[in-house]
């Protein structure tokens, strides 16, 4: 017999399913509670309020994304493939249990022009992971001098891919196009740094 998810997990699942597909502001707490089949007191006991639930759902999401990305980095055989692994990781992540129309972090950031410190920290953690890992993976490909700039350009490409996924009929093609664009940028940067 399969154990039912805890009330906490059901709340996190409901937040992901509803708030990250329909928008945080457009998703009332009572809808989340109904989806999770829990009482209001349960939400407040575990998360304090709706924002606490959203922050924890973002943290859980980032952990899952980090794991999928690391699996793709570990599977890659060359330094350039490891740097480009963010794109196959995005495909892997999209095929998993997480639901969203695009990037939950970008979505919540767009809805939160003045986030609380707690929410701001959760949102920044996604950006920090992205830039830091891309920088780390770029060093063996282009050297320390060009790694930061390349990491920032690759993050920009990935963000564009995530945004285009909202509008494209074929998100997989968008990811493939982003991958190809990133590869071109990486190769051009590597050539420019070769003595």
Which residues constitute the domain of residue 107?
59-193
Distance CA 59, CA 105 (A): 10
- Looking at residue 156, its pLDDT comes to 97
The number of distinct structural domains making up the chain is 1
Task: Please report, for the domain that includes residue 178, its CATH number.
Answer: 1.10.357.10
Tell me whether residue 126 is in a domain: yes
User: 174, 140, 136, 144: which is closest to 158 by C-alpha?
Assistant: 174
- Checking if the pLDDT of 88 tops 70, the result is yes
Tell me whether residue 188 is in a domain: yes
Contact 69, 89 (CB under 8 A): yes
Tell me whether residue 89 is in a domain: yes
How confident is the model over 24-42, as pLDDT tens digits?
Answer: 999 999 999 999 999 999 9
Tell me whether residue 40 is in a domain: no
Other CB atoms closer than 10 Å to residue 4's CB: what's the count? 9
Tell me whether residue 21 is in a domain: no
Q: What is the pTM of this model?
A: 0.91
Contact 149, 106 (CB under 8 A): no
Tell me whether residue 123 is in a domain: yes
Tell me whether residue 46 is in a domain: no
Tell me whether residue 34 is in a domain: no
- Looking at residue 98, its pLDDT comes to 67
Distance CA 23, CA 17 (A): 10
């Amino acid at each position: 017999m399969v154990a039912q998810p805890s009330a906490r997990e059901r709340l996190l699942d409901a937040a992901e399913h509803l708030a990250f597909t329909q928008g945080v502001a457009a998703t009332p707490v009572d809808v989340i509670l109904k989806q999770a089949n829990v009482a209001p007191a349960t939400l407040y006991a575990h998360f304090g309020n709706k924002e606490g639930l959203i922050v924890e759902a973002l943290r859980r999401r980032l952990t899952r994304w980090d794991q999928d990305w690391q699996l793709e980095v570990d599977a890659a055989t060359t330094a350039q493939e490891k740097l480009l692994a963010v794109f196959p990781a995005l495909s892997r992540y999209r095929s998993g249990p997480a639901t969203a129309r695009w990037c939950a972090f970008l979505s919540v950031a767009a809805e939160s022009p003045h986030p609380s410190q707690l929410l701001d920290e959760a949102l920044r953690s996604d950006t920090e992971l992205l830039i830091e890992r891309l920088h780390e993976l770029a060093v063996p490909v282009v050297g320390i001098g060009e790694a930061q700039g390349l990491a920032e350009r690759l993050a920009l490409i990935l963000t564009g891919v995530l945004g285009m996924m909202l509008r494209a009929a074929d998100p997989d093609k968008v990811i493939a196009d982003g991958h190809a664009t990133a590869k071109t940028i990486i190769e051009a940067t590597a050539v420019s740094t070769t003595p």
